[in-house]
Each structure stands twice: as structure tokens, then as C-alpha cells.
Amino acid sequence: MKSVWQENSSIPHFPQLKQDIHTDVLIIGGGIAGILTAYFLHKNGVKYTLVEKDSICSKTTANTSAKITFQHGLFYSKIFKSYGIETAQKYLSAHKTALEVYGIICKNIDCDFEVKDNYVYSVDKKEKLENEMSALQKIGYKAQFCENIPLPKKTVGAVKFSNQAQFNPLKFLGQISKELNIYENTFVREMIGNTAVTDYAKIFAKKVIVATHFPFINKHGSYFLKLYQHRSYIIALENAQNVNGMYVDENKKGMSFRNYNNLLLLGGGGARTGKPSGNWQELRHFAKENYTKSKERFFFATQDCISLDSMPYIGQYSKNTPNLYVAGGFNKWGMTGAMVSAMVLSDIIMNKQNDFADIFNPSRNILKPQLFVNGIEATKNLLTISEKRCPHLGCALKWNNAEHSWDCPCHGSRFAKSGTLIDNPANGDLKL
């Protein structure tokens, strides 16, 4: 099951680490967040090493919808209400800067970078759209309200952000990763202080950045309480529709639309990992009803870490780990989230001032409603009688019939039918 990006790109390969090494900065995780951080450190002459347990860009980054936008759903009314105008302005400015940096780097890279407008629509909640427009006006960003959008769905309107972007993320990362210091098939099994233990070697680092999608070190930071994972699905259709933009429903159970070359990428069917979902079946039913002449060319799925307050965790892993850092919890907006992480973390490493770092502090207040939801889910699954239990923290696994995998409803680890680990935070295979 290859994604459309994997089919249309070439990613370089790197050796496996087989001897002990010393480095100033160790980056664990070879997805877009880790690679961009390595890219900035490389450009600034910092001694670093990036390790990836499989092949770079082979997991979440390979299966994204690849929309580069600082319009993250109807988010600004929420952040304005929770944190006030200054935090909302910083959040927008950080992700707007991320979009601009992509534009600069992509000028010299063939990665199908296109400027497109982004729309967040609603099928029945016009008041939510109006509240978002009001919050954006107070923040100082000029969005546009659209009464009608060209989708085969009845909507009550959409909030439009002009001049956002889309691209092929693997073409982009394939180019910028070529000269980086990377080791693949190098699984960090354990951290002992700042020393990473892999299957064949140890890495002695002065500073460590965990960019593993879901942070895997449980004894610091309480990420097992602060994050859960959400699974979503995409089909790529030919002979469908040119929507000439990027569209996403404000409702988490809604659908997203964007084009790539002659294909329409239709996303949705998602749910919390380990919970029942509409998966590809829901998307195929929609396509059959609305794009009667279309033909499915690709189908793939991705997984996103959702934080307690819908803002990423970027910075010091915990208050008690001064040389350990994290990037995660991008809440389905991993393209700009990864770029913001790379900018913030590289500045921290180089002792530079970053104007956005404070709002993403991983040690910020965790007393949010989602914390109690996560706690209830974990407790319920820990008490569930099941032979199949996640090696991460012992939750009962659920069978995912659509993807033929064992999925953890607590923290989102996934395992193949054979027991092989697919997605973290579990750090080893399922023992059957």
C-alpha cells in the first residue's frame, strides 16, 4: 500500500550505525520534523547525527495530505478564547513564517510546490465560521468568508485563507536530506541519560531531540497522558474533480479535498486509533455517489498525535531534562508544525532567541478536558480482559479489520498481524 507521494518520488538511503559514536546533537526520528531540524543544524555547522529505526520518511510523513497552511481548522477562535490575543497572534505568526520558509527553500527544489487557497467549511455550523472570522479580525488577520465552494456537498460557507501551499513532501525531503548525516535501520531501544542504546552501537550526545512522532520516553513529560493518536484515510481518484484549492471540514468526522497532478485526494473516515471508523469504505461510498466516472489509483492512511489543547509540544522534554528536547503533537498540521519545530529547536540548540518558543512549551498547564478523556480511555483499556496487550503500557489492543493490524486505543501503537511493530510509542514488537 504505497501512497501517491511514494509512487512519485525517490528517497535516498543511508547506512546502519554499527559502531559507537559521539555527537553534539542526536536527533531521533527521520520524519519531516527530524529531517528539517537536521537540515537547519547542518546549514549552521552544528555537529549532529540523525537516526531512524526504519527508512526515513516511511511512516506518517509518507502518508500525509501535505497541505502547507497556517489555517488549522477553526482554531483561532479556540486559542483566542483559551489563551488570549498575544498567544493567538504568535501561533499564527509562527506557522505563517513556516509557510514562507517552505516557499524560499522550494524555489530551488522540484517538489510540485503550488500556491493554493485553503478553505475550512462547515455543513451545518455557520455560527462557528462567523466566530472564527471574528477572532481572526481581532488577531489582525484578514480572512475571507465564502458563501459557496465548489464541492459536491451542501455547506453553509467556508473561511478562506489565501496564498497557502501544497507539495509532494517526499520529493522535497528527498532533496534536502541527501547531504545530511543520517543512519537508517538504527532503532534507539533505550536512553540512559544522554546516551542512546541501539542494536549495534551506542550514541553519546550532549543534547538529544526526540522527533519520533509520539515521544517514546515515558519517565519524563507524561506524554502518555498529554497525547492520543487519530487515524485517518485517503484515496486518490482520477477522473474526479479539480477543486483548485485545499478544503477541510471543521468537523473532525468530515472530509478533506485537494488535487495532486490529475488526481483528487479525498480524505476522511477517521477516528481515534483503536476505535471503529468509516475508513476507506466511507470515502469510496462518497466517491461512488459523487464522482461516478472516477477510478481509484491509490489508498493510504496516516496517524496524527493530538495534544491536550491542539497546540504542539516543542522544546525541553520536561522541566527536569535540560538537554533533552521534543517535537510532537502536531494535531493533523504536521507540515507547518514540523517547520516550526525545526526553527524553534535549532534556535534553542544554538542559544538563539526564538519569538515563538514560549507558547509551545511542553511543560505548560495540562489541566484540560482532553486530559480526563485520555485518562478514562487508558483506564478502561487497562481493565479490559484481552490476550493481546500493548508492550508500551499494557493497554488492551483492538483488531483493525480494515488494515489488518492490532491497534492500541490508549496511545496509538500499532502492530501487524504477525506482531511486528508498525507505529510507536511502543518500542518493540508484540509478543504473540
pLDDT of the residue at 427: 87
Closest among 375, 331, 368, 392 to 225, alpha carbons compared = 375
Per-domain residue ranges for the chain?
8-64+171-225+309-360, 228-306, 369-423
pTM of the model: 0.96
User: Given the C-alpha cell 489509483, which residue does it identify?
Assistant: 297
Second-level CATH architecture of 369-423: 3-layer Sandwich (2.102)
pLDDT for 386 equals 84
H or E segment and range at residue 220: none
Which residue type occupies 57? Answer: C
pLDDT of amino acid 384: 86
Write phi, then psi, for 182 (nearest 5 degrees).
-125, 145
Q: Do residues 92 and 69 lie in contact, with contact meaning Cβ atoms separated by under 8 Å?
A: no
The CA-CA-CA angle for residues 221, 226, 228, to 5°, reads 130
DSSP 18-77: -S-EEEEEEEE--SHHHHHHHHHHHHTT--EEEE-SSSTT-SGGGG---EE-S--SS-HH
Whether domain 8-64+171-225+309-360 has CATH 3.30.450.20:
no
51 with 17: CB under 8 angstroms?
yes
The long-range contacts involving 217-220, CB below 8 angstroms and separated by at least 24 positions, are 217/191, 217/317, 217/324, 218/392, 218/393, 218/425, 220/317, 220/318, 220/320, 220/321, 220/324
Contact indicator for 152, 167 with CB cutoff of 8 Å = no
pLDDT of residue 428: 86
Backbone dihedral angles phi then psi of residue 354, each to the nearest 5 degrees: -125, 125
Q: Are 180 and 46 in contact (CB under 8 A)?
A: no
* Amino acid 432: pLDDT: 76
The stretches in the chain having pLDDT less than 70 are: none
Q: Are 137 and 105 in contact (CB under 8 A)?
A: no
Q: Which of 357, 419, 418 is nearest to 389 (CA)?
A: 419
Give pLDDT, residue 385. 85
Sheet of 414-416: strands edge to edge? 398-400, 405-407, 414-416, 421-423
